[in-house]
Amino acid sequence: MSPIQNAINNLRQRIAARQSSGNHLTGSANLAYIGQVRDLDPAMDTQNATTYVILGDLVLMAIDAIPNIPPASSTGLSDGDDYIAQPIRPSHRTDLSLAAIKTKPTHLHSIIHPALGQHINRHPGKRYILAADAMCKLAQKHRHKKHLLICNGYEAPEHTHLDVYQFAYGQLISVTESQLHETTHSRYVADVQEKLAKLTADIPDAHILWTAPLSAIELPSFPMEIIGPDIYQHKFLEVRTDGRTQPPSPKIPAIATILVIAGCTGIGAYDLQKFTQVRTAYDQLSQSTPTTDLPIDQLRTRATWQNALDTSAPQTTLKLAETLMAAIAQHPDWQLQSLQLATRRAGEPEIASANTSPLSITLLLPDQANQTAVEQAYQAITTLSSVTGIRLTVRPQGLSTQADNQQSKIRIVADMEPQ
């Protein structure tokens, strides 16, 4: 296929596309393009779009400078009608790549036609966005490319407005606006080719994107990627009519972020402070008391053992023994031969013993001839018991008689009844 045939095919395709759309405002159901003053009112009357993309003659752009306003003679504007400045867009990369650091930050300044401002004010509830924002966003997808050219523009019936945005590593470095012949004109393809040739003279390896609403075009010498109208389906800054040039500050999210971080930090600091406080309290408590070599439960057992010792029977048994001894001493002819006390106390090993009585005595008394030994023993023990209040019983086989210095004596072994 020869280049000429190619161009003819292109032309046919574009004429067909124009006819099928039926209007010079092209786009999907909720999207429409406004590229010249003439579009403004008919656009609103015929379109039900919710989002309008502003481009072409209605926007003037410059990088890091205020755009040149064309002389009043060419625009037909009166003195009171001034172009409306738009918020300045940072068109540089904000990521931390090496390319972003190396490139100088740039800002896109733009102004819109006063007629558009009036139009916007007359039609509240509609969204108006700048095509340039979509271009900058699109460029971010290709930010790894050293040279990127994005062709955007507006096809008016009498001429074509072509904007070529040049990016380096995702950063906007220039915008070239130009007027070409209308797309149906035979010169149109040549115009585009001439324009691209000029722009790629220094950057032959540039990647070229051809974006909606420009109709697709095929140029064998300039391979390019065709981008549909989907690029406008994002949230972009709306066109302003108040002339403010400051981009909307991210104050609310910033304040919210600061509050959240401050809150978190506050809670964290509080936790840390509380923890330190508790820790210090514990350390002080630890230091205020002496340390022990023994585990506390052993000390506890010791204490209970000692308590049991202090309150256990032997002391009272000693007292009982003394009472008993005093009572026996009242009878001069009685003789206490042996006294046995249980002194086993808590914690002592249990040692088997025949005698479990707390108190035992061996008593020797003179044998009275007129009474039996049993009677005498019974009498003596009863007397002792009643005097002392200690219940004594004669041990089985605990009674015997013996001769001592020619005198017969009765030997009684008696036990205190366990209480």
Q: Which of residues 299-328 bind another protein (CB under 8 A)?
A: 299-306, 308-309, 314-315, 318, 325
- Name which of 15 and 318 has its Cβ closer to another protein: 318
- Is 112 a residue that touches another protein (CB under 8 A)? no
E strands along 213-262, which residues?
A: 224-227
Structure-block tokens of residue 5: 């045939």
Region binding another protein by CB under 8 A among candidate stretches 26-34, 181-189, 253-261, 382-390: 253-261
Residues of span 115-144 touching another protein by CB under 8 A: 133, 136-137, 140
Convert residues 322-361 into a mask of x (bound to another protein by CB under 8 A) and - (unbound): ---x---------xxxxxxxxxxxxxxx-x-x-x------
Helix residue ranges, H only, 123-203 = 131-141, 188-199
Region binding another protein by CB under 8 A among candidate stretches 8-16, 17-25, 93-101, 202-210: 93-101
CB 319 within 8 A of CB 359: no
Listed in sequence order, the residues at least 6 apart from 81 whose beta carbon sits closer than 8 Å to its beta carbon are 114, 115
Answer for which of 73, 74, 289, 397 binds another protein (CB under 8 A) is: 289
CA distance 44 to 375: 142
Query: Coil, helix or strand for 126?
Result: coil
CA distance 397 to 275: 78
- Name which of 80 and 295 has its Cβ closer to another protein: 295
Convert residues 262-281 into a mask of x (bound to another protein by CB under 8 A) and - (unbound): --xx-xx--xx-xx--xx-x
CB 32 within 8 A of CB 23: no
- Name which of 72 and 260 has its Cβ closer to another protein: 260
- Name which of 346 and 394 has its Cβ closer to another protein: 346
Answer for which of 235, 242, 246, 406 binds another protein (CB under 8 A) is: 235
- Name which of 186 and 270 has its Cβ closer to another protein: 270
Residues of span 162-201 touching another protein by CB under 8 A: none
- The least CB distance from residue 130 to another protein, in Å, is 10
In whole angstroms, how far apart are CA 190 and each of 142, 196, 218? Answer: 27, 10, 12
- Name which of 186 and 304 has its Cβ closer to another protein: 304
Give the dihedral sign, CA 15/21/25/30.
negative
- The least CB distance from residue 291 to another protein, in Å, is 9
Answer for which of 223, 253, 332, 396 binds another protein (CB under 8 A) is: 253
Give the dihedral sign, CA 82/84/85/89.
negative
Query: Coil, helix or strand for 95?
Result: coil
Listed in sequence order, the residues at least 6 apart from 347 whose beta carbon sits closer than 8 Å to its beta carbon are 305, 308, 309
Count of positions (residues) in the chain: 419
Residues of span 25-84 touching another protein by CB under 8 A: none
# of chain residues touching another protein (CB under 8 A): 79
| Burial class of residue 234 (count of CB atoms within 10 Å of its CB; 0-12, 13-18, 19+) | exposed
- The least CB distance from residue 98 to another protein, in Å, is 17
- The least CB distance from residue 407 to another protein, in Å, is 16
Give the phi and the psi of residue 101 in degrees, each rounded to 5. Answer: -70, -40
